[in-house]
Structure 1
C-alpha cells in the first residue's frame, strides 16, 4: 500500500493519531478499496475508535498485494512521528505512507521544508480485523451538535473526572453531570451539572428521562479532533449498559467512537437488547458480562448478513471474601478515564460483516478469557 498526504491533511492525520492514542496502546491499520482504516481498542474492551480516510483524502492512494492485509503497530511508535502538531503544519509539506508486507515494515516519510526528509521505519504484526459490533439504527435516542458546544460544556469538568452522565430532560434539554458512584461520597463531592437548550443542537431525538454514563477521557479526545476539524458530532445511545456511539462524517473522513456505558444498578428492567435479541445474563452478583471474538473472514456464497449474536463467556468460579477485597483495592487504584472492569459492560468485538462475507455463528470460539481474570 502506498499513500501520499499533502498540505493540511497531514495535520488532520496527526490529530487523528492523537485522538486514537487516548484509546489503546496499539494501532490497527487496514488499507481497503474504501480507504485507509486506523483503529484502536483499550485493554478492557470498553472503548473502540476508528478513523476511515477515503482515497480522496490522499494525493495518491494505491493498494498493493496481498489483499486484504491487516496489521498493528505500537501506538507509541506511530504517535512519535506526529508528536508535534504545530510543527507538522509549519514544516511538513508531504507525508508518504508505505506499507511493505514482505519486509514487515511500515515506512512513514515526512518531506519538510528546505529539502529535509525524515524517514521512520516501524515494525508491525499481521493481525485479524477487530471491529466493535454496533448498529446505530437500534439506538432509541440520538442528538447532533457542533463540536464546539460540547467542548465548551465539558471544559467545566476537572481533567481527573473519570465518568460523566448525559441525560435528557423536559423540553428537549440535555444535561451533563459528573458521576459519583457512592451516595456517601455524593455528600462530600461537588456536583457539576450543565443544561443545554434544544436550540444548541442541530438535531435532538431522545427518549425523555433517558440517561447514560460513560468515560470522559476518550470523549475529550474525540471532541478535540472534531472541534479542530469543525465537524458536527452525532451521539447515538440506548438504555444504560448498551454502547454509546459517537460519529463524525465528512466527504473524505468517517469516524466512530464506541464506549461502554454504566449499567443502572437500580433498574429492574429486562437485560438490554443486542440487535433485537436479549443478551445472555448470568447469576453473578455484579454487572460484568464480557464478550470478545476474533474471527477470520472466509469466502462464502453471497447471503445477507445475519444479526450478530453476542457470545457469553463461562461463569467464573465463586470467589472468596479475600479475593473480593483484593479486587476492590485494584478498582480503587484505577486510572481516570479507564473504567473499573466490574462497572462497565464490555463491548462486543468481531469481524466486520460485509456482503459476500461469512455470517457470524453463535458458536464461534471465544479467544479471550473472562475479564475477571485480567490483571
Structure 2
C-alpha cells in the first residue's frame, strides 16, 4: 500500500486520527479499492468509528502491490504512535507540504513520511500487527428515526454541557420539538441534581424524520470528537437511531470521505420496544433469542455465516440479554473512561468478516477455556 497526501488534506487526515483517538487505543488500517479505511473500536466494544478516504483524496493511491493479483493487507498500529506523527495541527498546516504513507509487510513496518518546507523530511517507522477486518453491526436503512443538521448547530448545543458529562439524551416529542439533556439516573435525588436541557427548533435541522416521543441516551465524549471533525470540515451530520438499547449511527458524507460513528445506547426497560414503520415499510423486530454477552461466540457465528464477506450487511440490532441477578454486582467493574458500558448500556457486537489469509470466512474456533465467574 502506498498513498501520497498533499496540501490541506494532510490536516484533514490528522483531524480524523485525532477523532479516532477518542474511541480506542488501536488504529486499524485497511487499503481497499474504494480507498483507505481507518477504524477504531473501544475496549468495551460499545463504540466504533470508521473513516473511508476515497482515492481522489490522495495525489497518488495504490491499494496493493505492483502485481494485479496481490492480496490487500490489513494491519493495526498503536493509536498513540500514529497520533504522535500528527500531534501538532498548527505546525502541520504551516510546514508540511506532503505526506507519504507506505506499508511494508515484508519488514513489518508502516512508514509515515512528512515532507516539510525548506527540504526537511521527517520519517516515522511504526510497527504493526496483521489483523482481521472488523465491522460494526449496523444498518442505517432499517432505522426508524433520522435527523440531519449542520455540525455548527450541534457544536453550539453540546458546548453548554460540562466536559465531565458522560451521557446525553436526545429526545423528539410528539410536537416535533428536539431536546438535548444531560442524563440523570433514576436513583439520583432531584434536590441534589442539576439538569441542563436545550431545546432545538425543527426548522434548524435540514431533515427530520423521527418517531414521535422517541429518545436515546449515548456517550458524549466520542460524539464531541466527531463534531469537532465535522465542524472543521463544514459537513452536515446525520443521525440514525431506533429504540433505546439499539445502536445510534452518526454519519458524514462527502465526495472524498465517508465517516461512520456507532455508539451503544442506554436501554430503557420501562418502555416496551416498539417497531414503527419507516417510509411505509414495517421495521423488522429484533429476535427474542436468549443471547448472552459472550462476544466470542457471536463473532464465531458471524465468521461462519454465508454472507458475502466483501459486502457485509448486518441488521441494526443489539441482542437483549436475559435478566440476571448478577447485573448489580457487575455494574461497578470494567468501566472505560468516556464510554461506560456499564449501567444499562448494551455492548455493540463486532465480527471478523475477513481473515488475513484470504477472502474465505474463518473456520469455526474451538473454545479452549470457559469464562470464569469472578474477575480476572
Can you give the 5+ residue segments of structure 1 that lack an aligned partner in the other structure? Answer: none
CA deviation string 1:259-305 (max 9, x = no partner) = 00000021234799xx8352445499xxx685751666999999997
Does structure 2 retain, via aligned residues, the 8 Å contact 1:306–1:360? no
Q: 1:360 to 1:73 in 2, by over 3 A?
A: closer
Question: How far apart are the structure 2 equivalents of 1:305 and 1:14?
Answer: 28
Match of 2:118, SS state, is helix
Q: Which moves more between the two structures, 248-257 or 186-195?
A: 186-195
> In structure 1, what is the Cα distance between the partners aligned to 2:372 and 2:156?
35
Is 2:233 the partner of 1:229?
yes
Q: Does 1:75 align with 2:79?
A: yes
Other-structure match for 2:114:
110
Query: Does the 8 A contact of 1:161 with 1:336 survive in 2?
Result: no
User: For 1:159 and 1:243, how far apart are their aligned partners in 2?
Assistant: 23
- Partners of 1:64 and 1:106 lie apart in 2 by 14
Residue in 2 aligned with 1:147? Answer: 151
Counterparts in 2 of 1:311 and 1:200: CA distance versus 1, 3 Å: closer
Cross-structure match for 1:95: 99
Aligned counterparts of 1:166 and 1:104: Cα–Cα separation in 2: 44
2:167 — aligned with what?
A: 163
**Deviation (angstroms), 1:241:** 0.6
Aligned to 1:10: 10
Residues of 2 paired with 1:13 and 1:158: CA distance? Answer: 28
Q: What's the CA shift string for 1:109-143, capped at 9, x where partnerless?
A: 00011111000000000111001021111100001
SS of the equivalent of 2:188 reads helix
Q: Any stretches of 5+ residues in structure 2 without a counterpart?
A: 277-282
Residues 271 and 374 of structure 1: is their aligned pair in 2 closer, same or farther, counting only changes over 3 Å? farther
Q: Following the alignment from structure 1 to structure 2, what is the Cα–Cα distance between the partners of residues 125 and 222?
A: 26
> In structure 2, what is the equivalent of residue 330 of structure 1?
333
8 Å contact 2:139–2:315 — kept in the other structure?
A: no
- The answer to whether the Cα contact below 8 Å between 1:297 and 1:351 also exists between their aligned partners in 2 is no
Hey, what does 1:188 align to over in structure 2?
192
Match in the other structure for 1:343 = 344
Q: Is the 8 A contact 1:164 1:179 kept in 2?
A: yes
RMSD: 3.7
- The counterpart of 1:278, out of the listed 286, 289, 295, is 286
Structure 1 residues 165 and 99: CA distance shift in structure 2, 3 A: same
Write out per-residue CA displacement over residues 144-166 of structure 1, whole angstroms, 9 at most, x where no aligned residue. Answer: 00000000000000000000000
Partners of 1:193 and 1:311 in 2: how far apart? 28
Relative to structure 1, the CA distance from residue 306 to residue 293 in structure 2 (aligned partners, 3 Å threshold; closer, same or farther) is same
Q: Which moved more, 1:215-224 or 1:342-351?
A: 342-351
Report the Cα distance in structure 1 between the residues aligned to 2:179 and 2:116, rounded to whole angstroms: 46
Distance 1:140 1:360, change over 3 A: farther
Structure 1 259/372 Cα, relative in aligned 2: closer, same or farther at 3 Å? farther
Contact 2:170 2:215 in 1 (8 A): yes
TM-score (norm 1): 0.85
Give the 5 Å matches for 1:11-90.
11-65=11-65, 66-90=70-94
Change (3 A) 1:213 1:116: same
Aligned to 1:208: 212
Rounded to whole Å, the distance in 2 between the matches of 1:303 and 1:113 is 41
Partners of 1:344 and 1:180 lie apart in 2 by 14
Give the Cα separation in 2 of the matches to 1:84 and 1:181.
39
2:189 aligned with 1:177: no
- Retained in 2: the 8 A contact 1:166–1:175? yes
CA distance in 2, matches of 1:309, 1:170: 24
Measure the CA separation in 1 of the matches of 2:240 and 2:269.
22
CA displacement at 1:182 relative to structure 2: 3.2
**Matched-pair contact (CA < 8 Å) for 1:24–1:43:** yes
Q: Is the 8 A contact 1:341 1:372 kept in 2?
A: no
Alignment of 1:295-306 (within 5 A): none
Instruction: Report the Cα distance in structure 1 between the residues aligned to 2:58 and 2:93, rounded to whole angstroms.
Output: 16
**Aligned-pair CA distance for 1:341:** 2.9
For residues 348 and 76 of structure 1, what CA distance do their matches in structure 2 show? 25
TM-score by length of structure 2 reads 0.84
Q: How many residues align?
A: 361
Cα distance in structure 2, aligned partners of 1:142 and 1:206: 6
